[in-house]
């Protein structure tokens, strides 16, 4: 008889965004005349930049001709893209990462969920709290997290590193030693960052205790401050303790196009075993590569025109971020994030839980945000707004919040 993977049955409730979706759907059904502004889900709204569209068209035409048609992509991804990444994202920033250490994929969500597969189920994971839910849920599905404590909102075998106003939303080294450490900077959901010196402490720690850091740098393009690292490989010793995940979703609007990559340095080991061949094997067995046309589009991200156009696109979103940050501060909210990330993290007004504030905002301002509690227990009392809306809607949302 077939049996299910009963780790799936341990997953509490539904995914955060489906709960939000249901609440919003119910509200709009009850009030069809009201225009809802969504500053909740982290999806982009601006169209693909012209340089990317041109590259896509050209690649599509190549697929129409037997002489230039492409079938299966190479396992690690096309050389032209991996070289562009190595050159621009790493060499250009003084990081020693080579093209053959880069694995092209269809996005960082899948990679962040799949990467745990090459590690033993005995590993103990440490995550920031609040956290991007994928890191925890993928480990639940693998049976790595112990039992769920519904009252506390925590798993018995997960090390939570609270990130709150008290520690400036920067995790502290945990008391208990983890095997795998998930870090995401600039952070989703808090929009916070850590400096290169702060990240160096994590790299030194991981090397000292033999842990592997899984570093999610999906928001790297939003960094505006000098001392914030764009890659963990800017830190000394990261080649022996860190895997880095990147995405084209937030810097180039590929959320519907799908492209990302994972860096596994050749020196990186877990115990005595090198991880690069394991991830290569996993990739080769379970994945047949991102589409050729999409990899060509990714290459265009690194062209001079692509870079210039995307700089403007990121600036467009950051203008929203600044407006939300300043607007809410003016109204007396306690806000953080928004400087190196397209997320604004605010404290809910006195006495309101984050879901209560969600309902309040939906009803009074018809604005959708994301309750902090959905990202972990330390997210309670906080609320996330994203800068990914269009400017006019963002301004209107702010005005409505001001009038609540």
Ligand X SMILES: *Cc1c(COP(=O)(O)O)cnc(C)c1O
Residues near ligand X, by CB under 6 A? 42, 107-109, 112, 132, 184, 188, 216, 218, 247, 249-250, 255, 260
Return the DSSP state at 119: S
Choice between 164 and 247, CB closer to ligand X? 247
Instruction: Output the DSSP codes for 255-285.
Output: TTT--EEEE--TT-EETTEESHHHHHHHHHH
| Shortest reach from residue 132's CB to ligand X, in Å | 4
* SS3 state of residue 65: coil
d(CA 72, CA 54): 22
Q: Among 385, 368, 317, 372, which residue's Cα sits nearest to residue 169?
A: 372
Choice between 262 and 366, CB closer to ligand X? 262
8 A C-beta contact, residue 95 and residue 310: no
Instruction: Output the DSSP codes for 41-60.
Output: S----SPPPHHHHHHHHHHH
Choice between 108 and 398, CB closer to ligand X? 108
The residue at minimum Cβ distance from ligand X is: 107
Choice between 180 and 401, CB closer to ligand X? 180
d(CA 338, CA 323): 9
Choice between 114 and 322, CB closer to ligand X? 114
CB atoms within 10 A of CB 21: 15
| Shortest reach from residue 134's CB to ligand X, in Å | 7
8 A C-beta contact, residue 401 and residue 328: yes
| Shortest reach from residue 345's CB to ligand X, in Å | 13
Choice between 231 and 366, CB closer to ligand X? 231
d(CA 10, CA 8): 5
| Shortest reach from residue 110's CB to ligand X, in Å | 6
| Shortest reach from residue 217's CB to ligand X, in Å | 9
| Shortest reach from residue 105's CB to ligand X, in Å | 8
Choice between 241 and 245, CB closer to ligand X? 245
Query: Which secondary structure element, helix H or strand E, spans residue 337, and what is its range?
Result: strand 335-337
Enumerate the β-bridge partners of residue 127: 160
Choice between 215 and 401, CB closer to ligand X? 215
CA dihedral 90→96→100→106, nearest 10 degrees, is -30
d(CA 63, CA 111): 27
Choice between 43 and 234, CB closer to ligand X? 43
| Shortest reach from residue 390's CB to ligand X, in Å | 19
d(CA 114, CA 99): 21
| Shortest reach from residue 42's CB to ligand X, in Å | 5
8 A C-beta contact, residue 254 and residue 248: yes
| Shortest reach from residue 82's CB to ligand X, in Å | 17
């Amino acid at each position: 008889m077939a049996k299910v993977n009963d780790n799936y049955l341990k997953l509490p409730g539904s995914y955060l965004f489906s709960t939000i979706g249901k609440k919003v759907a119910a509200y709009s059904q009850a009030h069809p005349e009201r225009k809802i502004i969504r500053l909740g889900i982290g999806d982009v709204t601006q169209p693909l930049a012209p340089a990317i569209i041109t590259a896509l068209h050209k690649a599509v035409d190549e697929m129409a001709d037997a002489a230039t048609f492409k079938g299966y992509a190479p396992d690690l991804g096309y050389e032209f893209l991996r070289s562009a990444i190595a050159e621009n994202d790493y060499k250009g920033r003084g990081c020693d990462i080579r093209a053959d250490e880069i694995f092209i994929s269809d996005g960082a969500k899948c990679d962040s969920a799949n990467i745990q597969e090459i590690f033993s189920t005995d590993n103990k994971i440490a995550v920031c709290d609040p956290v991007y839910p994928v890191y925890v849920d993928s480990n639940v599905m693998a049976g790595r997290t112990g039992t769920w404590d519904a009252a506390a909102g925590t798993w018995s075998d997960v090390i939570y590193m609270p990130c709150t106003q008290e520690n400036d939303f920067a995790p502290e080294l945990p008391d208990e030693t983890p095997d795998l450490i998930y870090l995401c900077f600039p952070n989703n959901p808090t929009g916070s960052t850590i400096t290169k010196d702060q990240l160096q402490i994590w790299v030194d720690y991981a090397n000292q205790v033999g842990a592997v850091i899984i570093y999610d740098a999906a928001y790297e393009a939003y960094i505006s401050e000098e001392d914030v690292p764009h890659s963990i490989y800017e830190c000394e010793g990261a080649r022996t303790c860190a895997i880095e995940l990147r995405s084209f979703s937030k810097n180039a609007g590929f959320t519907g196009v799908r492209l990302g990559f994972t860096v596994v340095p050749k020196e990186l080991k877990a115990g005595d075993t090198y991880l690069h061949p394991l991830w290569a094997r996993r990739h080769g067995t379970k994945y047949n590569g991102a589409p050729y046309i999409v990899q060509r589009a990714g290459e265009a991200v690194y062209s001079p025109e692509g870079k210039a156009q995307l700089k403007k696109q990121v600036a467009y979103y950051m203008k929203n971020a600044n407006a939300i940050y300043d607007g809410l501060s003016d109204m007396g909210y306690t806000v953080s994030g928004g400087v190196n990330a397209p997320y604004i993290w605010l404290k809910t007004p006195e006495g309101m839980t984050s879901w209560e504030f969600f309902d309040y905002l939906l009803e009074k301002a018809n604005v959708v945000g994301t309750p902090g509690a959905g990202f972990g227990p330390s997210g309670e009392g906080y609320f996330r707004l994203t800068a990914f809306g269009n400017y006019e809607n963002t301004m209107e949302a702010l005005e409505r919040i001001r009038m609540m």
